[in-house]
Structure 1
Amino acid sequence: MDRTRFFVRVAAVYALIGAFMGSHMAGGGGLELSAIHAHILVVGWLSMFAFAVYYKLFNIPKNSKLSVIHVWSSFIGVFGLTVGMWLYYTRPIEGMQTFNTIFFIVGGTILLIAFVVFAIMAFVHGKFISEE
């Protein structure tokens, strides 16, 4: 898998969703979704794009197990956090509050794991992170 291409494409999708949400909120005058909009742009667009740049700039081994865990936990975590946040705050289906809360918490936890793995990779694969 080309990690850079994957992260750039995912980032592009989140950028479109975030921009659309911002446009919709500006046009409608309501800011009820501003926290969700901000998280989609920060963890969905900016973090995913930053990860793409990381994999492009530094020669992190493609067979790294940490890298595989990082890619998939980032993808699943961002989706889980943002969708879970949307479910939690908008409550589109009545009677699902417990599910919505768990979805939100699990998504956020998986994303936290992704960032922990990223921090570990910065040290484990530190020899590949250089200005040379």
Structure 2
Amino acid sequence: MGIQLIKIAAVYFFIGILLGMYMSINHTYNYSSIHAHVNLLGWASLGLAGVIYHLFPAAGESIFGKVHFWLHNIGLPLMMTGLFLLVHGYEAVEPVIAAGGILVTLGVLSFLYTVFTNIGTRHDK
């Protein structure tokens, strides 16, 4: 689980860098919120979770570790796609952003539970 998250995080890092370069080259910063979310929730958060799951394999293989993986990786693209469309004036997409945000939040809650129940116990070997 850890290695998969690190690889996915690297993809988000690349997307975030490309988006930042695009905004810089064109001197338009309409996508700043997307850029920030991709880098924080994609690159940084998933990368750190991947390292944690790699160091503590029982956490990554737990049911809540897997729930975290799927909720986060379904919710984030959904939220970012909705945010992209919102920036382009499609206000009807706000529920999609909310749904993605809820999925990511539930995923992070699963991660929190996973950390507290699998790390620092005899199962973290």
Contact 2:53 2:59 in 1 (8 A): no
Q: Between Structure 1 and Structure 2, which shows a larger proportion of helix residues?
A: 2
Change (3 A) 1:76 1:44: same
Q: Share of identical aligned residues, percent? A: 25
In the alignment, residue 102 of structure 2 is paired with which amino acid?
Answer: T
Paired residue total? 124
Match of 1:104 among 97, 101, 106: 97
The 5-angstrom pairing of residues 35-114 of structure 1 reads: 35-60=33-58, 63-91=61-89, 97-98=91-92, 100-114=93-107
Contact 1:40 1:82 in 2 (8 A): yes
Let me know the Cα RMSD of the aligned residues.
1.9
TM-score w.r.t. the length of structure 2 is: 0.88
Change (3 A) 1:29 1:61: closer
**TM-fit CA distance, 1:46:** 0.7
Q: Secondary structure at the match of 1:60?
A: helix
After superposing on structure 2, the runs of 4+ consecutive aligned residues of structure 1 that deviate more than 4 Å are: none
Equivalent residue, structure 2, for 1:17:
15
What is the alpha-carbon distance in structure 1 between the residues aligned to residue 122 and residue 18 of structure 2? 37
What is the alpha-carbon distance in structure 2 between the residues aligned to residue 31 and residue 129 of structure 1? 46
Q: Deviations over 1:43-91 (max 9, x none)?
A: 0111110111011111325652111111101111211221221122223
Equivalent residue, structure 2, for 1:7:
5
Unaligned runs of 5+ in 2: none
What is the alpha-carbon distance in structure 2 between the residues aligned to residue 48 and residue 6 of structure 1? 10
TM-score w.r.t. the length of structure 1 is: 0.84
Unaligned runs of 5+ in 1: none
Q: Deviations over 1:104-130 (max 9, x none)?
A: 000000000011111111222131587
Higher relative contact order (CA 8 A, sep 6+): 2
In the alignment, residue 53 of structure 1 is paired with which amino acid?
Answer: V
**TM-fit CA distance, 1:22:** 0.4
Q: Secondary structure at the match of 1:32?
A: coil
